[in-house]
Structure 1
Amino acid sequence: MNYSEKKSLVISFALFILVIGSYFFKYNSQIYDKDIIAEVIFGVAFGSVLLQVVFSNFAHRDLKKEVDQLRLMQERDWLTGCLSRNKFKKECEKILEKNKDQTYAMIIFDIDKFKAINDLHGHQTGDKILYDIAKILEKQINEDELFSRIATDNFNVLIKYQDYLTFSKRIEKMIGEINGYSDQWKINISMGIYLIGEAKLGICNFSDRANMAKRSIKDNALVSYAFYDESMRLVMIRENEIENKMEAALRNEEFELYLQPKYLFLDEKIIGAEALVRWNDPILGIISPNDFIPLFEKNGFVKKIDAYMFEKVCKLLHKWKIEMDQLTDMIISVNFSRVHLNNLFLPEELFEIASRYKIDPQKIEIELTEGTIFDNDIQMIEIMKHLKNIGFHISIDDFGRAYSSLNTLRNLPADILKLDKAFFSESADDQRGKKIITSMLNMARDLNLVTVAEGVETKEQVEFLKERGCDIAQGFYYAKPMKVVEFEAFVNKKLKSA
């Protein structure tokens, strides 16, 4: 075998190892330490090239060039030219060791809705934005400071911290330059910051804590950066505990159906209820929805919960149809999260479940929050139309919170408008608030929408809403959410005393 052949064989083997290693790194990074994997990949590839030195005494310069190229591949990001993740970590350790008396901040930021930019404008545009951001950071980084692109649109930055005011101004300038660098594309970044205390915690822990801070403000248009505090770690631990339990909890039917009665204002007759989920953990007891629904919306598990609750409602209505004639007129409302927004098959899926239990869709009300509808009004309106054509009632929950366009509201295929309880409870007792609520009720009446006031807690609120012509009440003044057996007994008692 001549030199050229040996050279080609060894280089091919090195590249083969890099490809296989990259695949391994991508799909097994949660199992193994990423830095160890990266070093193993490079070590094998680097060793493959060094074999050439043993087997050949020729073309030393060419071989050195190839080794340098492989080293560069490991130390530099191929797109932006900035440090690779592994090299960034090693250089950070050196800087912190060298500057023990200097306080540093670890920063992580990414671009909000970057995937949408790639999808709408193409990956070339996305790559250009990432390259340009790297060039902006390059100009802002001082001596003994570093930055790296650690993943798609995620950047890691290590910079010096002097005092809060000076540091905040520098951060705001950095964010301003990145967000405003292009008139062509709308860029918004979310940034998390961890002020490094004990260096012994390690670079990975610094980055993790900065990432926790970033996650706390993700997709919040009003806030661009946040500092890490210990409560974030405690929240993450709690969320991990919940995520570790959620699948088993669903299998074990720990998620229970609760019902809160709805009353006609006119004669205070119970006409239905809202279905609410409660998690009855065998160890922790009842877990509030506020502790798990926001997390389930983030991780997508809410899709399973919504489908599970919808089926439980259908089972219940089927049971009432067979065993309890006095409850067959009840209409039950079921909440659906915004994560269903992209499921154009939602109407068919719900109809299939209702049909399985021989339930008339008119016995079920689908609740969609106002924010969900107006996040993607065109697609959601099509879904709403389909649901209504099937026969389901449609209600807009939390109305008043998202400052909806009245023109859009006029075109919605909705039947029911639920006034946002926070808005109502804060405003019902002052004159200005009463005028706003009165206007909402008049507008709903003009659009032939049934109105529901949720969160009704006082006799004064009841009298005011009755006087203004609100149709339905729901709240603690009448009844709290209760288990199904309690609801059945509660309604039967009301019917007997009527």
Structure 2
Amino acid sequence: MQREMLAHSRGSMHALVHTRLAEQGRATVERVAESLVNPLYYFDLEAIGQVLATIRRQPDVSYVVVYTPTGDVLHDGSPDIMSFGQAMDDPFAAAALDARAAVVQSDDDVLDIAVPITLGGERLGGLRVGYSLRNVAADEQAANAILSRSLEEISERHLQGVALSLAALVLLGVVLSLLAQRTLVRPIRQLADHAREIEAGNFNVDVADSRRRDEIGDLVRAFRRMSESIRRHDRDVRRMAYTDALTGLANRLAFREVLDQRLIESGGAARALALLVADIDDFKRVNDTLGHDAGDEVLVQFSERIRETVERFGGGATLSRFGGDEFVILLEGDERAGQLRETAALLAGVLVEELARPIVVRGRPVHLGISLGITLFPDDAGDATALMKNGDIAMYQAKVAGKNCYRFYSRAMDQAVERRVRLEQDLRGAWDRGELSLAYQPVFDMRANRLVGAEVLLRWQHPGHGMVAPSVFIEVAEQSGLIETIGPLVLRTACRDAMRWREECGQRDGLFLAVNVSPRQLRGGDFAAEVEEILADTGHPAALLHLELTETAVIGDELRVSALLGRLRGRGVKVWLDDFGTGFSGLSHLRRVPIDGVKIDRSFIAEALRNPDDLALTTAIIAMAHSLGMTVVAEGVETEGQADLLRERGCDFAQGYWFGHPMPLEDLIALCR
């Protein structure tokens, strides 16, 4: 009986702990893999790192790896991604690569769970998470030791007692046998029954405490402590699986279960649901400028503001952080009352207003904001997957609308998003396919009426749609992050072209090159070092490079941008403020940001001959810039009358159709000869 009980208990505990850990781990890894589909598709290493960092914080996680379909490590959750590009060669790697569904493998030290990441049937890669089994093994050994000692003592002492009793009281043997059955065997069998229940997954088994002071009592109390320990461990595992480690909010897995349950409950009742998908605007800028620790602090403060706002609003809303800078809110309402849409709009408006207030991080105010997408059940969709997709689409439309606002989902958005996604996919690789090209618009000196430089403009000849408007594809490149790849290519190619046109025109030191810089380029990586490297590689003179940036590139982080531009100006590069006059705070930037000149927006020039107000503003801008020692360029000059008017008011340079349309490099060379 002793050996049977000990073997059964050991086997039950081992199978119980490992099975439960595998089930919880697989559920967690599958949900995390689902959240990595978009970041992996867009090769967004930062978003992948944010998701993996949440997993790595869990105490029992030994490693976490996102890998490519070929088995190379794409991200290991560390800030520097030390194993990037290395091939997975551990014993579990082969099965993980061949997996078409979740695969659970283990040895004495680690439980490895691998889940493939797919999109539309195409395998993008996979996610592996290793859980340490050392703590589990230690708990098992301790419990087994207690059981073994208790059973040995029971066997030795009670068998001796029974033998002596039988020898001394032969006449009472039958009575003593029945007494032994009651006092020894029945409690052990009860413990065996409890062990089988725990093995089956019932961790709420109530093991009654024993008042006995013998070894049986010790065994019962040891089993009771072991049962409570397993129950606590199960609660801890569930808490880790369903809670976001950084903010303490419900995570994607917990929210999805709540959403599924609410949909089931609302299916046969007159109830409606509203899903609000929220994303922090320009959060990447915080990580790039202040570091990821500061980014975590911002996320904690943002989540606290959202939680307080939702609680003040009332209504039993469910709040979750989905990872990265994305939060989701679920509202419930009476469909027949028809008020849920208004309620969701009111909450979204309050959140936009509340989160527009600056956050103080390490003594610095940080201005961000939030964009929200709202979708309704059953009006917009009937299942959780469709609701989540519609919420993402509506949130994206809020981003497109200018951020810091909310939008309701409409079916027309599906077509718009589909067109945008196709355009983004086509834009990826367009440079390598030769679809993107550079055009140059000449810039003339107004007084001498001679060519002094050219602005480089990007053109896209789409094989199916023809010429795509720059206002369309530049916005896509900016929002998708492709501009961080295309921008340096444009600058490097334009610098090489400029060296050629100066060589062939015999003007090595005269013609400047003007290049537009996007806000994302300024905020991503070390832009100044990138420019310096390109100038060194191409031999282009720094003094003949004019970088043009808009007011939006400066707003929100003037201190960092000023330092960056000051470094470039120290190398001789000129900095111009583009589309000047269109922003409300343009004048303030002239004081705080180091710039060499301004470009008057074409909207003023177009009406200068007919609208006295535009003429007065144009004249004032020219006079003000000259008083500050800055050069002035007028954009969009299309008639001789406009050119004469600007010349009379002392405008330095001008560009537009009157002087020349954007043209290929060969035409510009012919113009300057």
Give the drift of 1:200: 6.0
Q: Which residue of 1 aligns with 2:575?
A: 394
1:96, 1:199 within 8 Å by CA — same for their partners in 2?
no
Find the residue that maps to 1:60 and give its secondary structure. Answer: coil
CA separation of 1:184/1:106 partners in 2, compared to 1, >3 Å: closer, same or farther?
closer
Q: Which residue of 2 aligns with 1:316?
A: 497
1:11 aligns with 2:17: yes
1:286-345 residue CA offsets vs partner (Å, 9 max, x unmatched)? 222112111211222112211111111122123234444268732121111111223574
Distance in 1 (alpha carbons) for counterparts of 2:309 and 2:414: 31
Find the residue that maps to 2:661 and give its secondary structure. Answer: coil
Give the drift of 1:23: 4.6
Distance in 1 (alpha carbons) for counterparts of 2:398 and 2:607: 26
Q: Which residue of 2 aligns with 1:260?
A: 441
1:353 aligns with 2:526: no
Distance in 2 (alpha carbons) for counterparts of 1:132 and 1:474: 49
1:414-438 residue CA offsets vs partner (Å, 9 max, x unmatched)? 2221112235436663222322222
Q: Which residue of 2 aligns with 1:172?
A: 346
2:250, 2:319 within 8 Å by CA — same for their partners in 1?
no
1:377-433 residue CA offsets vs partner (Å, 9 max, x unmatched)? 222222222222222222111112333364651454322211122354366632223
1:212 aligns with 2:400: no
Distance in 2 (alpha carbons) for counterparts of 1:20 and 1:415: 58
1:121-176 residue CA offsets vs partner (Å, 9 max, x unmatched)? 68577446535644653565648x76544445411324346688884366325642
Give the drift of 1:351: 2.9
Give the drift of 1:112: 4.2
1:77-99 residue CA offsets vs partner (Å, 9 max, x unmatched)? 67236981321331232134123
2:203, 2:231 within 8 Å by CA — same for their partners in 1?
no
CA separation of 1:200/1:413 partners in 2, compared to 1, >3 Å: closer, same or farther?
closer
1:302 aligns with 2:483: yes
2:331, 2:344 within 8 Å by CA — same for their partners in 1?
no
Distance in 2 (alpha carbons) for counterparts of 1:398 and 1:130: 37
1:109 aligns with 2:278: yes
Q: Which residue of 2 aligns with 1:154?
A: 327
1:217, 1:224 within 8 Å by CA — same for their partners in 2?
yes
Q: Sequence identity, in percent?
A: 23
1:334 aligns with 2:515: yes
Distance in 2 (alpha carbons) for counterparts of 1:108 and 1:277: 34
235, 256, 279: which is aligned to 1:86? 256
Q: Which has the higher contact order (CA 8 A, sep 6+)?
A: 1
Residue 22 of structure 1 aligns with an amino acid whose one-letter code is T
CA separation of 1:74/1:366 partners in 2, compared to 1, >3 Å: closer, same or farther?
closer
CA separation of 1:462/1:168 partners in 2, compared to 1, >3 Å: closer, same or farther?
farther
CA separation of 1:275/1:218 partners in 2, compared to 1, >3 Å: closer, same or farther?
same
CA separation of 1:436/1:391 partners in 2, compared to 1, >3 Å: closer, same or farther?
same
Stretch deviating more after TM superposition (88-97 or 115-124) = 115-124
1:447-484 residue CA offsets vs partner (Å, 9 max, x unmatched)? 11110011223444323222211111112233221222
Residue 379 of structure 1 aligns with an amino acid whose one-letter code is R
601, 609, 617: which is aligned to 1:420? 601
CA separation of 1:121/1:285 partners in 2, compared to 1, >3 Å: closer, same or farther?
closer
Distance in 1 (alpha carbons) for counterparts of 2:474 and 2:501: 28
Q: Which residue of 1 aligns with 2:265?
A: 95
Distance in 2 (alpha carbons) for counterparts of 1:50 and 1:283: 68
1:327-377 residue CA offsets vs partner (Å, 9 max, x unmatched)? 873212111111122357433332332332332222321112232134322
Which runs of 5 or more residues in structure 1 are unaligned? none
2:604, 2:618 within 8 Å by CA — same for their partners in 1?
no
Find the residue that maps to 2:633 and give its secondary structure. Answer: strand
Distance in 1 (alpha carbons) for counterparts of 2:542 and 2:528: 11
Distance in 2 (alpha carbons) for counterparts of 1:131 and 1:18: 28
Residue 247 of structure 1 aligns with an amino acid whose one-letter code is R
Question: Where in structure 2 are the equivalents of 1:5-154 lying within 5 Å?
Answer: 6-7=12-13, 10-11=16-17, 14-15=20-21, 18-19=24-25, 22-23=28-29, 25-27=31-33, 29-30=35-36, 53-54=198-199, 60-61=205-206, 62=227, 65=231, 69=235, 79-80=248-249, 84-99=254-269, 104-112=273-281, 116=286, 123=296, 126-127=299-300, 130=303, 133-134=306-307, 136-137=309-310, 140=313, 142=315, 148-151=320-323, 153-154=326-327
1:246 aligns with 2:252: no
543, 553, 576: which is aligned to 1:372? 553
411, 418, 427: which is aligned to 1:230? 411
CA separation of 1:92/1:421 partners in 2, compared to 1, >3 Å: closer, same or farther?
farther
Report the count of equivalent residues. 481
CA separation of 1:423/1:93 partners in 2, compared to 1, >3 Å: closer, same or farther?
farther
Distance in 1 (alpha carbons) for counterparts of 2:258 and 2:594: 54
Give the drift of 1:111: 4.3
Q: Which residue of 1 aligns with 2:149?
A: none
Stretch deviating more after TM superposition (152-161 or 368-377) = 152-161
CA separation of 1:422/1:168 partners in 2, compared to 1, >3 Å: closer, same or farther?
farther
Q: Which residue of 2 aligns with 1:469?
A: 650
1:277 aligns with 2:458: yes
CA separation of 1:120/1:418 partners in 2, compared to 1, >3 Å: closer, same or farther?
farther
382, 386, 389: which is aligned to 2:563? 382
Give the drift of 1:59: 8.2
Find the residue that maps to 1:488 and give its secondary structure. Answer: helix
Find the residue that maps to 1:22 and give its secondary structure. Answer: helix
Distance in 1 (alpha carbons) for counterparts of 2:440 and 2:584: 29
TM-score of the aligned structures, taking structure 1 as reference length: 0.80
Q: CA RMSD in A?
A: 4.2
2:275, 2:374 within 8 Å by CA — same for their partners in 1?
yes
Give the drift of 1:214: 1.7
1:208-264 residue CA offsets vs partner (Å, 9 max, x unmatched)? 222222222239788532112334322321222123233321222321001111122
Stretch deviating more after TM superposition (150-159 or 21-30) = 21-30
Stretch deviating more after TM superposition (331-340 or 13-22) = 13-22
CA separation of 1:381/1:53 partners in 2, compared to 1, >3 Å: closer, same or farther?
closer
CA separation of 1:435/1:7 partners in 2, compared to 1, >3 Å: closer, same or farther?
same
Distance in 2 (alpha carbons) for counterparts of 1:71 and 1:336: 48
Q: Which residue of 2 aligns with 1:442?
A: 623
Find the residue that maps to 1:84 and give its secondary structure. Answer: helix
Give the drift of 1:446: 0.8
Find the residue that maps to 2:513 and give its secondary structure. Answer: strand
Structure with larger Rg: 2
Find the residue that maps to 1:258 and give its secondary structure. Answer: strand
